Structure 1
Amino acid sequence: METAQKRVVVKEKKAGLSISDIILVGVLLAVGAVLKFFVGSLFSAGMKPNFIIAMYCLAILLIKPRFIEAIIIGIIAGAICQVFPGTPYINLISEPVGAIVMAVLVYLPLQIGKFSLKPIVGTFFSTLASGMAFIGILYAAFYTGANVKTMPIGVFLVIVLGTAVVNSIIVQVLYIPLKLALGRGRDD
């Protein structure tokens, strides 16, 4: 008589982004672009809030990509930003900076009890990192003689901080429902 052997399920290590991950990133970046176009058009202060940052932060939270994949998500987000009026090419550097910050913060234990603070804290600091990189590159270009428009740093900082707060709220509100709807589990 044979005895039944214990069945073991081995979960394979994630090798890269799945097709559903790529589609999710694309949809969220498209939503960010639509928000940037329609809501951003209500602002006339020169620099407009960038909702694309909120959406790539949400994507990174949901799919937890490797760092190189996060950088690629940031580059794609920066390329999408090139469609909108503004200072060309700077977002190709500032968005990957924000994406890297988010990718790092995804792996930190940021929670109070069962409530995850990753969406609000991660998005806030990622938006700050992206905004500060943008401002730094813009002013470096300005001081080296490039033909770029600037405004007082205080105005930029208010816009960056305001965008960081708005992005953080958007991502915090959307994170749990999207995570559950996509079947990404309840645990962090």
Structure 2
Amino acid sequence: MEKRVVLKEKKSGLSISDVILVGVLLAVGAVLKFFVGSMFTVMKPNFIIAMYCLAILLIRPKFIEAVIIGILAGALCQVFPGTPYINLISEPVGAIVMALLMYVPMEIGRFSLKPVICTFISTLASGFTFISVLYAAFYAGASVATIPIGVFITIIFGTAVLNSIIVQILYIPLKLALGRGEAKAG
């Protein structure tokens, strides 16, 4: 009898379940942004950013996969009123930052700070990219509506805090429900 050898293929790309998870989370983000987002007045979470941050936390995509997730999120943002096309730049930047932060250790004992810190920083990256592109377009002569930078900065930081809270709350239950390994308390 010959010895049987089981070869395990190396993962190349996202699995079908990963793609479905990203799609479902982005869809949930869009629905929440449409229905729940309208209930907030000044400070409101950006549920689409929160959901792609959560997806990246759960599936740990490669760099190019994170870019694609960001582009999909930016395309989804085009459905909502606002400044067209800028999200096609700002959301991939936020997704790239989120994917890169996955490599930075952020644990205190068994408690992981990744959900809250990475989401906060990624939301800031997306927000500041958005405002930079918006003002660059404005000063280049494009017909875009702007508000004072101080107001934008307040909105960006408020959104980052709210997104961080949402992702922190959802991360452990989703990780456990999806069977993505032992979930650390955070």
Q: TM-score range by the shorter chain?
A: over 0.9
2:24 aligned with 1:19: no
Could you give the per-residue CA deviations for residues 28-67 of structure 1, whole angstroms, max 9, x where no partner exists? 001110111112213455x964210000000000000000
Please state how far the C-alpha of 1:83 moved relative to its aligned partner.
0.1
2:105 aligned with 1:109: yes
In structure 2, distance between residues paired with 1:117 and 1:138: 31
In structure 2, distance between residues paired with 1:121 and 1:149: 31
Task: Name which of 151, 172, 177 aligns with 1:176.
Answer: 172
% identity of equivalent residues: 78
Task: Name which of 27, 30, 34 aligns with 1:33.
Answer: 30
Please state how far the C-alpha of 1:13 moved relative to its aligned partner.
2.5
> Helix, strand or coil for the counterpart of 1:148?
coil
In structure 1, distance between residues paired with 2:67 and 2:182: 26
2:60 aligned with 1:64: yes
Partner of 1:75: 71
Please state how far the C-alpha of 1:12 moved relative to its aligned partner.
3.4
In structure 2, distance between residues paired with 1:58 and 1:67: 16
**Aligned length, in residue pairs:** 184
RMSD: 1.9
In structure 1, distance between residues paired with 2:10 and 2:112: 24
In structure 2, distance between residues paired with 1:83 and 1:147: 20
In structure 2, distance between residues paired with 1:102 and 1:13: 24
Query: Which stretches of structure 1, 4 residues or longer, exceed 3 Å deviation after superposition?
Result: 7-12
Please state how far the C-alpha of 1:108 moved relative to its aligned partner.
1.3
Checking the alignment, whether the CA contact within 8 Å between 2:44 and 2:162 is kept in structure 1 is no
Gaps of 5+ in 1: none
TM-score (norm 2): 0.92
> Helix, strand or coil for the counterpart of 1:92?
helix
Letter of the aligned partner of 1:149 in structure 2? A
- The aligned runs of 1:1-188 (5 Å cut-off) are 11-45=8-42, 49-186=45-182
Please state how far the C-alpha of 1:102 moved relative to its aligned partner.
0.4
TM-score (norm 1): 0.91
Could you give the per-residue CA deviations for residues 139-160 of structure 1, whole angstroms, max 9, x where no partner exists? 0001111100100111111111
Letter of the aligned partner of 1:24 in structure 2? L
In structure 2, distance between residues paired with 1:43 and 1:170: 15
In structure 1, distance between residues paired with 2:44 and 2:166: 16
Checking the alignment, whether the CA contact within 8 Å between 2:53 and 2:119 is kept in structure 1 is yes
Checking the alignment, whether the CA contact within 8 Å between 2:33 and 2:48 is kept in structure 1 is yes
In structure 2, distance between residues paired with 1:104 and 1:9: 33
